Chains A and B, each alone.
Chain A
Amino acid sequence: MPEPEVHPLVAAITPLIERLNAELVAPGDARDDDLTLVWDSEPVVAVRLPAKEAGRAAGGKPPEGGVSTLLAEVADELGGPLNTLSRSQKQQAVLLLEARGVFEFRKSAEIVAEALGVTRFTVYNYLNRAR
């Protein structure tokens, strides 16, 4: 904590932070994607959201930010840029991306299609499937 005494704001949000699996950091240590909380014009503490949620939770970012984060995550997990993956790995990639909510973002079908090297119509066809 940045102060010896627990600030009332910190005390108030601590249960929430625990529930979100987030982390409190000193305002001076805050990174760009941390959320600094201000009380009476003074930064009190910064909240670091869990890694996988960070892209989605950062409200100010353009929607593409969250999509790129997810694309990078999945590419990492599957071992290479999405357009170089095998047919079945690409399918796996789409399932993972979908499970992580990528298609909640505006324009995501276009961005995902381009990353995979397929057309957006194909992605729409896939999203239109019965389940």
Chain B
Amino acid sequence: MRLVAEFTTEPFDVNGSPPAHATEALRAAQEAGLECDFGPLGTQVRGEEDLLLPALPEVLRAAFAGGASQVTLQVRRDA
């Protein structure tokens, strides 16, 4: 089963380059082999359940290590 996860990392800062919590979370998802779309309000990642679910703790860890104060995560089936 394919899943899509979307996450928004905070604080939301629009000045300058993307904050480390966003780029680090993206990097963790890429390293896990997920298809990633780094959007303006959040990052969307897709992949097989077996690939995606185990990657999520790493993504969250990377976001907090990068300075995130809060992460909102949504996971759903890839329609």
Q: How far is the CB of A24 from chain B (nearest CB, A)?
A: 40
Contact status A129-B72, CB under 8 Å: yes
Contact status B18-A129, CB under 8 Å: no
CA–CA, A121 to B74, complex, Å?
Answer: 8
Q: Which residues of B contact A118 (CB under 8 A)?
A: 39-42
Tell me if A14 counts as interface (CB < 8 A to partner B): no
Contact status B40-A94, CB under 8 Å: yes
Contact status A129-B8, CB under 8 Å: yes
Tell me if A128 counts as interface (CB < 8 A to partner B): yes
Contact status B40-A88, CB under 8 Å: yes
Q: How many residues of A contact B (CB 8 A)?
A: 19
Q: How far is the CB of A35 from chain B (nearest CB, A)?
A: 36
Q: Which residues of A contact B38 (CB under 8 A)?
A: 87
Question: Counting chain B CB atoms within 10 Å of each CB, which of A95, A122, A123 scores highest?
Answer: A122
Tell me if A116 counts as interface (CB < 8 A to partner B): yes
Q: Which residues of B contact A88 (CB under 8 A)?
A: 14, 40
Q: Which residues of B contact A94 (CB under 8 A)?
A: 40-41
* Given A90-B40, A121-B6; A126-B12 close (CB under 8 Å): yes
Q: Which residue of the partner chain, among A90, A92, A126, contacts B8 with CB atoms under 8 Å? A: A126
Which chain A residues (97-121) contact chain B, with CB distance < 8 Å? 116, 118-119, 121
Contact status B41-A126, CB under 8 Å: yes
Contact status B10-A87, CB under 8 Å: no
Tell me if A84 counts as interface (CB < 8 A to partner B): no
CA–CA, A126 to B74, complex, Å?
Answer: 12
Binding site for B on A (CB under 8 A): 87-88, 90-92, 94-95, 116, 118-119, 121-126, 128-130
Q: Can you offer 16 A-B residue contacts whose CB atoms are under 8 A?
A: A87-B38, A91-B12, A92-B14, A94-B41, A95-B14, A121-B76, A122-B6, A122-B44, A125-B6, A125-B42, A126-B41, A126-B42, A129-B10, A129-B70, A130-B11, A130-B69
When A and B form their complex, which 5 residue pairs have the shortest distance between CB atoms, in order from nearest? A125-B8, A90-B40, A91-B14, A126-B41, A125-B72
